[in-house]
Amino acid sequence: MSVQPEMPPRTAMQHGTAMQRRTAMRVHPELRTAFESLPQFSDPYEDIAATREGFHAMLTAVPADRTGVDSERFEIPRADGSALMVEVYRPEGGAGSGGGEDAAPGQDARTADGGAGRALPAVLHFHGGGYALGRSLPGQDRAAIALCRELPAVVLTVEYRLAPEHRYPAGVEDCYLALEWAAERAAGLGIDPARIALTGKSAGGGLSAAVALMARDRGGPAIVHQSLCVPDLDDRVGAVGAADGEAADGGETYAGWADGEAADAGWAGGEGADGDGALGARVTTGRSVQRSWAHYLPEGMAAADAYAAAARATDLSGLPPAYVLVCDLDPMRDAGLAYARRLMDAGVPVTVRNVPGAWHGFELFAPETRVAREMTAHWTGQLRAALYPVVG
């Protein structure tokens, strides 16, 4: 069992030394223009309905390019009689294009479709958005479309229930239900059940880690790979001082660094920044991460369990190989790195990548930069390698 140690209070001298060590960490030169053009950061949880409406309006204004990709929507019944919506993206003309209900559960997908098409690996993609936001429009999930084309793979997007209307465990149970459904219907979906992976960014990365734990503990479908991108998997990030507002103004964060130190390290007040000294004015901070968890976890829940926050798991052995992507200037970076290290210690193969000088979600504001393209290429390449292994 690996446990994060309690961070003792620091003296003023230690605080100053820490700031000096962080001074060298600055926004990546290629990202400075994008950083300087960031709007003032607003709390997306202040008016969740308005945030969702704004996000959908933005997506509607610029439809996704679906060239070479088909998609089909399915309703999966829940135990309470409601339905979970899943969208299945496939390369045009790929195996299983006739729909997921045509084949009996358990049929070998590699012989499905009458030999007309080759079964493909599958990727369950869980969207981000702090467990409360971020759902794409039908047929418009850009990440799913890109993975479908570039891997290639059958990609399933899961419209899991969102907080705070549906708090934990609703969302993660939906994601696990989608995994079971995909494995059972592999033949009709054109999926090779021996090559199923999980991926997601931010909250989606946290859900991927939690579903991998669930599958292990419940004896569920085999998962060949878990791809955790800037994962939100620890409810302790930014927790100290968050209740009284200190986390955004110099309070301790997950690994003992203060948000104020990060500001002095190039987020603000340094070259290429606006000089106002306020990290929270532009990007995600430990305090905003805490806001996410406050909406996701049930009211009165003192501490998350492992299926809510995978970093709380005491045993990480027996999990599928993992890819962990973090960004230098992300308050969730240290929690992601700690989880990766614990996976390694448990004997799980792990690939780790850190994007220097980048903040949480930077690629949304600077998609054409080399930094963003290289990050996406590395993430996609690791998924491809896991789903199409080279046999020596």
Tokens standing for residue 124:
């369950």
Are 183 and 156 within 8 A, CB to CB?
A: no
Give, for 122, the enclosing helix (H) or strand (E). strand 120-126
Q: How many CB atoms lie within 10 A of CB 303?
A: 11
Residues classed as catalytic: 202, 330, 360
CA distance 317 to 348: 7
Are 22 and 262 within 8 A, CB to CB?
A: yes
Tokens standing for residue 269:
């007040």
Buried/exposed code over 9-23 (b: 16+ C-beta within 10 A; e: otherwise): eeeeeeeeebbeebe
Angle at the Cα of 197 from the Cα atoms of 143 and 159, rounded to 5 degrees: 50
Question: Letter for the amino acid at 14?
Answer: Q
Are 339 and 209 within 8 A, CB to CB?
A: yes
Are 293 and 323 within 8 A, CB to CB?
A: no
Q: Mention every residue, 6+ apart, whose C-beta is less than 8 A from residue 189.
A: 88, 96, 100, 109, 122, 154, 182
Angle, in degrees to the nearest 10, between helices 203-217 and 170-184: 60
CA torsion angle 142 145 150 154 (round to 10): 140
Give, for 21, the enclosing helix (H) or strand (E). helix 12-23
CA distance 150 to 88: 16
Are 166 and 297 within 8 A, CB to CB?
A: no
